[in-house]
Amino acid sequence: MSAAPQDQVNQVRENLQRVRNLSAHGLSADELHSDDLREWYRSLLRVFGDIREVAEEAERQLSQDADSLKILTPSEISEAARISRGAVYKRRAVRGK
């Protein structure tokens, strides 16, 4: 099998770096707001929400690439991404429009 295209590799690394930075921010917020319960919850919920957005965006792009380039089957994508096969097919149908 050939290597992943460099632009995809760069995009994945950028997303992983974003998650790393958000995690570091979360750890800082944890320390900074440990005395203020409301701000602690608010800050950490924002961090986890941001991490979720980055992760979902990256998962969608990787799943789409794996599907459109026929690198993985829909079953393999659904297993690896922890989504239903129906979601893979639905995304494929939406892309086709």
b/e sequence 13-43, b meaning 16+ C-beta within 10 Å: eebeebeeebeebbeebeeebeeeeeebeeb
Quick one: pLDDT at residue 31? 97
Quick one: pLDDT at residue 3? 84
Mean pLDDT by 10 residues, the chain (97 residues): 85 97 98 97 98 97 94 96 94 83
The tokens describing 19, both together, are 């998650």
Quick one: pLDDT at residue 88? 94
Quick one: pLDDT at residue 97? 61
By CB atoms closer than 10 A (0-12, 13-18, 19+), residue 6 is exposed
Q: What is the pLDDT of residues 51-78, one digit of tens each?
A: 999 999 999 999 999 999 999 999 999 9
Quick one: CA dihedral 93, 14, 17, 26, positive or negative? negative
